[in-house]
Structure 1
Amino acid sequence: MKTSRRSILMGSLAALLAPVAVRAQTAPPALAGSELPPGLPQPDETIDLWPDGLPGGENPALTETVIERSRDRLVTDRAVYGITNPRMAVFRPRKPNGAAIMITPGGGYKWVVVDKEGYEVGRRLSALGYTVFVLFYRLPNEGWQDGANVPLADAQRAMRLIRARAQDYGVDPERVAAMGFSAGGHLCADLGTRFDAGVYEPLDAADQLSARPFLAAPIYPVISMTAPNAHPGSRALLVGEDADPKREAAHSPDRNMPEGAPPFFILHAEDDPVVPVENAVLLRAALKAKGIPVETHLFAHGGHGFGLRKAVGKPVEGWLDLFLAWAQAVGFANRY
């Protein structure tokens, strides 16, 4: 079902009129005792997705843990797992352009990357006027009852909350996009194809809103859950190593393409040694078969997980400019 301006605006009004208790929000993931590099703004604003408790009252015995993978004290490369309080870290621009982007970082569904595919992209986009929400979503193999759908439930809820609070951020509730990387690219594509899937029971007025993004931008994404194209680690953690063909298909976005999917921007490197480029090709083919607008960029060299920092000095370095130009062409926002 396509996003309806009337449904979004009416839903936003309902959400605004509903009584909302003032609650302290959970701080962004942090590494205790660590000294952060100077000159890198850290988000201090978050939005809890489930302030009244997780759907179904689930409460696995998890401890949120942040690790530092970088050996350079001037460059952080944190990752977080054991997330029981999924939330968004917010990057507000000085001059909002009215468009918002929700980022789902990668991490192979083993953890969620904080810096490389989260904060670094968030800072760059917010400097250009976009309001950015970096989503720290629950991981599928950490004891949740419906583990394979837990990341999607968080992504749907996040999109709806952004729209419900659009007025607070100077955002047009229609112009909310999704961007994701690697396994986060799978989540981005899953949201772009299964935005209407009932993966949790509605809780409040925000859940009356559409979870369909204005556009979806999966970057070097995991797509297929079927060998030989599946990323083994993501597949094992999302659907299980013994998943049958039906379960594989249910969680492969290329095999769940609806007529009303949003426009897609797909980018991948052909020499990716982790996630085969065929994932991007399969997704593009599925979009074309349904007549969904799609922009695709395949680079000969780039590898995997380049984000912004590892793209420097390579032809793929300009990938964000390509995205911004395309976003302008489809009416999402001005480039600058």
Structure 2
Amino acid sequence: MKNILLFMFLVSVKIAGQDTIMPLWPKDNIPNHLNSVEKELHEQNEILRISKVQKPTIEVYLPSKLNATGEAVLIFPGGGYRILAYDWEGTDIAKFFNTKGIAAMVVKYRLPSDVSQTNKKFVPLIDAQRAVRLVRSNAEHFNVRPDKIGVIGFSAGGHLAATLGTHFNEKVYEPIDSYDAVSARPDFMALGYPVISFGEITHQGTKENLIGENPSEDLVDYFSNDKQVTELTPATFLMHATDDTVVPVENSLLFYTAVKEKGISATMHIYPKGGHGFGLGLHDGHLKDWGDRMIDWIASLR
């Protein structure tokens, strides 16, 4: 099966050039998937919103070989575990990374569903682990180093990135091929206005969409990622706006404190204004440089 996926990758690169879309899983072997009438939806208005994902993928953006730094970043768009803000916090971010010589992969991960999934609360993490394993296994073909593969997530996508960074070692699905023997640990992670806690300062929609309206205390703690940090959690970059009324800035403060207490390298940029969901922030004079600050931070890890 690994050879089949690799063949699909090579063929799609030959046809599409720089960008290619790869399935995360072999056909008809997607963990926790149920056949149903649910169909994936794409809605384009100011941004592209994708919901009810049935077949998760990674969309690959590669810089030229002459510009490549050898690093790669997997991108998890936000959307409250209800939709994916796929271009705003996904493909636009990937193109930005390419201008800096960094390979980027937008992860179209499954969103929790009572209709098309079993044990839905683990499904986003299942796809996130698989995405890292798939990229790391194909590092040579992407012209990246297998020890320089990071993640970035925004809002609920930041929650997923942080969940991956704290639960990468946990067995949440049965291995299906040789890719699943590869480490799912990100080498670094960046979290943009992330949902971190499922406690009082959470974003209620994100919490309920993932673990329901009346979760157990153990489940709340499991997905409150500030409580799950260990010495193996990757180096972390955080950015947030103080006036975020959707996901309170205290989420980032909690995670920064948690990683700092474990002796993990961390940096944090808190902006006075910006609200929630500002993406690259290109139209705001004091936000538009956060991406460059992140690139500087990634370079410092080399």
What pairs up with 1:140-151 in 2 under 5 angstroms?
140-143=112-115, 144-151=117-124
Q: Distance in 2 between matches of 1:90 and 1:19?
A: 19
- Check the 8 A contact 1:220/1:277 in 2, yes or no: yes
Equivalent residue, structure 1, for 2:34: 58
Q: Counterpart in 2 of 1:166?
A: 139
Q: Indicate if the aligned counterparts of 2:130 and 2:180 stay in contact, CA closer than 8 A.
A: yes
Aligned amino acid, residue 20 of structure 2: E
SS of the residue 1:89 aligns to? strand
1:88 aligns with 2:58: yes
Q: CA deviation at 1:43?
A: 7.5
Partner of 2:293: 322
Whether the 8 Å CA contact 2:32–2:118 is kept in 1: the answer is no
- What amino acid is the match of 2:288? E
Residue 232 to residue 45, structure 1, CA distance change in 2 (3 Å): same
Matched, 1:110 2:64: no
CA distance in 2, matches of 1:58, 1:258: 34
What SS does the aligned partner of 2:78 have? Answer: coil
How many angstroms apart in 1 are the aligned matches of 2:18 and 2:153? Answer: 19
- Pick from 221, 227, 235 the counterpart of residue 263 of structure 1: 235
The Cα shift of 1:220 comes to 0.3
Paired residue secondary structure (2:297): helix
Conservation of the 8 A alpha-carbon contact between 2:158 and 2:194? yes
- Which amino acid in the other structure matches residue 59 of structure 1? N
Q: Quote the Cα distance in structure 2 between the aligned partners of 1:330 and 1:142.
A: 41
Quick one: distance in 1 between partners of 2:163 and 2:215? 18
Q: How many Å separate the matches in 1 of 2:227 and 2:108?
A: 26
Letter of the 1:118 partner, please give it.
G
Partner of 2:204 in structure 1?
232
Q: Residue type of the partner of 1:186?
A: H
Distance in 1 between residues matched to 2:275 and 2:204, nearest whole Å: 17
| Distance in 2 between residues matched to 1:42 and 1:279, nearest whole Å | 40
| Equivalences for residues 173-212 of structure 1 within 5 A | 173-212=146-185
Which sections of structure 2, spanning at least 5 residues, go unmatched?
Answer: none
Report the equivalent of 1:20: 4
Residue 327 of structure 1 aligns to which amino acid in structure 2? I
- Partner deviation per Cα, 1:238-259 (whole Å, 9 max, x = no partner): 1111112211111111111122
Which of residues 240, 250, 256 in structure 1 aligns to 2:222? 250
Distance of 1:187 and 1:69 partners within structure 2: 25
For residues 62 and 118 of structure 1, the distance between their equivalents in structure 2, rounded to whole angstroms, comes to 23
TM-score by length of 1: 0.83
1:95-137, Cα deviation, whole Å (9 max, x unpaired):
3221100000001111111111011111111122111100000
Contact 1:43 1:89 in 2 (8 A): no
Contact 1:268 1:280 in 2 (8 A): yes
| SS of equivalent residue, structure 1 residue 47 | strand
Q: Does residue 45 of structure 1 match 2:51?
A: no
Query: Are 1:66 and 1:81, in contact at CA under 8 Å, matched by a contact in 2?
Result: yes
> Is structure 2 residue 245 aligned with structure 1 residue 273?
yes
SS of the equivalent of 2:123 reads helix
Q: Which structure 1 segments of 5+ residues have no match?
A: 1-14, 28-40, 71-76, 332-336
Q: Distance in 2 between matches of 1:182 and 1:311?
A: 18
> Which of 71, 79, 104 is the equivalent residue of 2:49?
79
| One-letter code aligned to 2:100 | L
**Structure 1 segments (4+ residues) deviating >6 Å:** none
CA RMSD of aligned residues (A): 2.0
Q: Does 1:221 align with 2:194?
A: yes
The one-letter code of the counterpart of 1:176 is I
2:236 and 2:8 mapped to 1: Cα distance? Answer: 36
When the two structures are aligned, how many residues end up with a matched partner? 293
Task: Report the CA distance between 1:289 and its aligned residue.
Answer: 1.8
For residues 161 and 122 of structure 2, the distance between their equivalents in structure 1, rounded to whole angstroms, comes to 13
1:11 corresponds in structure 2 to none
Tell me by how many angstroms 1:20 deviates: 3.2
